[in-house]
Amino acid sequence: MGTITTRDGIEIFYKDWGSGQPVVFSHGWPLNADAWDDQLLLVADNGFRGIAHDRRGHGRSTQAWNGNDMDTYADDLAELIEKLDLHDVILVGHSTGGGEVTRYIGRHGTGRVAKALLLSAVPPLMLKTESNPEGLPIEVFDDIRKGVKADRSQFYKDLSAPFYGANRSGSTVSQGLRDAFWLMSMQVGLKGAYDCVKAFSETDLTEDLKRFDVPTLIVHGDDDQIVPIVAAGLKSAKLVKDATLKVYPGAPHGLFATHQDEFNQDLLAFIKSS
């Protein structure tokens, strides 16, 4: 574990487990690197170097007033990769982290990147517009902002249900998993949490996806209540050249936890593939 300091003086916390080809994980909103612990352990136990950072404003990184936007998130990721002198990197991004990975490739290219995996990711665009009618209306994101400002603790407790599909009939999601979601969420600074809603919902990543030129796996649950697959995974798979799409039937947004065994098998197979 350690920190880097970005060009604008922000400390970015990261975990660095194992050795070998680096697998760099970017987490979703409003979580932090701890969300990836199971996958970090998996890759480190299988001969890879697992790295996951807390996005600025989140977890143990600086609660920055400025730079809570997708461009800066991507630049922070670039600085982490450069300062650790990583090459042949496998990028894995969940939700907002998938947007971060996508904008990183759009802004910085794939010179240091070997593969990419987008999991329940926000690209190409979550917001409903004339050209993106499958997206969600702005009122959905306005309600998220209202919830965060009014009573963020209760909002995060409630959000954990659709995040993991705990509100679906027959769900076996534990209270412990939901509590962990709340705990990580409460470590996000209010400013960073609020600003990130605009970043993940209104950033158009269409052109960034078109710049992908490395093997790419897109994984999405077809019962994702947070980032519906119709405006996200299905569209991204058409925009990324030669992408592989895997749909998990009935899976929620946080499928890396609810469908951990299946996802871990897919992740390991992907990073080991030639």
Q: Which residues are catalytic?
A: 95, 224, 253
Strands 11-18 and 48-53, sheet pairing: antiparallel
Tokens, residue 257: 């936890």
* Residue in the block written with tokens 């993106």: 132
The set of residues, in sequence order, having a beta carbon less than 8 Å from that of 143 and lying 6+ positions away, is: none
Distances (CA, A) of 55 to 25, 27, 45, 188: 11, 8, 25, 9
> By the 8 A CB rule, do 239 and 266 touch?
no
Cα 2 to Cα 19: distance, rounded to the nearest angstrom: 16
Residue 105 sits at the vertex; the CA angle it makes with 233 and 234, to the nearest 5 degrees, is: 10
The type of residue at 47 is G
Q: What Rg, from alpha-carbon coordinates, does the chain have? A: 17
